[in-house]
Amino acid sequence: SVSAGFAIIDMMEWSRLPIYTTGVGMVSSMALGIFMAGERSQRILTPRTSILSHRFSGMTMGNYSELIARRKEEDFLHERLINHYMEYTLLKTREEVEQILMRDVDTWLTPEEAIKYGIADRVEMKNRQNGGL
């Protein structure tokens, strides 16, 4: 969930230790927000990792007053996500974030595109210590 992801990010930012992140296989949804909050220069992707960015979705039930109250929280979450992307990527305006990473449809990125947008710092082809074996 988005709120659980932000709890993890809060702990990462609070930590005195640098948090290195590695994306393997697929990094999607709120996991992408967590990944990009890693220590700059230490956000690493493997070459065949798929990256998925999209707007969050939710389901709300209740009476009219409950729906209005929930809508306020959903608006807060959307703003937090926009601000998070602007802080941890090279995208610096709301418009850029919404046009590139938070569109109405899923946005799939290659590791190279993730580097282009400042989501990740590098792609590691193989383990340097053992030659990738």
- Active-site positions read 29, 54
CA distances from 81 to 39, 46, 89, 110, 117 (A): 18, 25, 12, 21, 16
CB 42 within 8 A of CB 20: yes
Spatial separation of the C-alpha atoms in residues 77 and 73, rounded to whole Å: 6
Q: Which residue has the tokens 């792609």?
A: 123
> What is the side-by-side order of every strand in the sheet holding 26-28?
26-28, 50-53, 107-109
